Chains A and B, each alone.
Chain A
Amino acid sequence: DTGVSQDPRHKITKRGQNVTFRCDPISEHNRLYWYRQTLGQGPEFLTYFQNEAQLEKSRLLSDRFSAERPKGSFSTLEIQRTEQGDSAMYLCASSGQGAYGYTFGSGTRLTVV
């Protein structure tokens, strides 16, 4: 098992463009999470899946953000009409149960210019 994989590692996009990130969790983990980390801050929770069901969305996740986890395996996070304020590191994590067994990916760094 190679852990949690995220792709791409870096993304530079122009304001107003759409971007999509992918996360491949640890295969036996049924829970998957997205967090956002801005410079000098700790990660902030965005959303959570248990298998294919999206069970919670943070108020940070505006209508321009959408996340999916088809078939309960990999997940995608899409940001439409990107804004400069969306520039951040987007972290994916997976766990088998609760917060004890979290494994984080290395993240996707988004820069909106």
Chain B
Amino acid sequence: GNSVTQMEGPVTLSEEAFLTINCTYTATGYPSLFWYVQYPGEGLQLLLKATKADDKGSNKGFEATYRKETTSFHLEKGSVQVSDSAVYFCALSDDYKLSFGAGTTVTVRA
């Protein structure tokens, strides 16, 4: 079956630091890959997505590249801000159903 493993948190960073959250997946076929973000007190929001190998998703300064050879979709941001403090979820889908990782809590300190 499909599964997602992402880096355990929590992660604490200073403002303007570089952020990487590792995500690897197991899937039959060729899934689409997603990063979702959950800000405190809010619902899940799609951050970025990639639908095929070598695609790069990007949004709000975050990037992730679909690496089929390493079955990975690591999230990166070059310079984080306090407002990036949130829980980040890696997810995959091969049709309509999403399979999520456990989430990584990121706290950015001023």
Residues of chain A at the chain B interface (Cβ within 8 Å) = 4, 31, 33, 35, 40-45, 48, 56, 91, 93, 95, 98-100, 102, 104-107
Contacts and interface: CB of A to CB of B under 8 A. Distances in A.
Contacts of A33: 96-97
Contacts of A40: 102-103
Contacts of B103: 40-42
Interface stretch (B40-48, B59-67, B69-77, B78-86): B40-48
A102 B43 contact: no
Contact of A43 (B42, B46, B49, B98): B98
A69 to B, nearest CB: 15
Interface in B24-47: 32, 34, 42-46
Contacts of A95: 96
A40 B105 CA distance: 9
B44 A31 contact: no
Greatest chain B CB density within 10 A among A41, A48, A104, A105 is at A104
B42 A106 contact: yes
Interface of B is mostly: strand
Given A42-B89, A42-B103, A98 B96 contact: yes
B22 interface: no
B46 to A, nearest CB: 7
Given A48-B96, A95-B96, A102 B46 contact: yes
B97 A48 contact: yes
A25 to B, nearest CB: 13
Contact of B44 (A56, A91, A98, A100): A91
Contact of A104 (B4, B43, B102): B43
A42 B6 CA distance: 10
B66 to A, nearest CB: 14
A43 B4 CA distance: 12
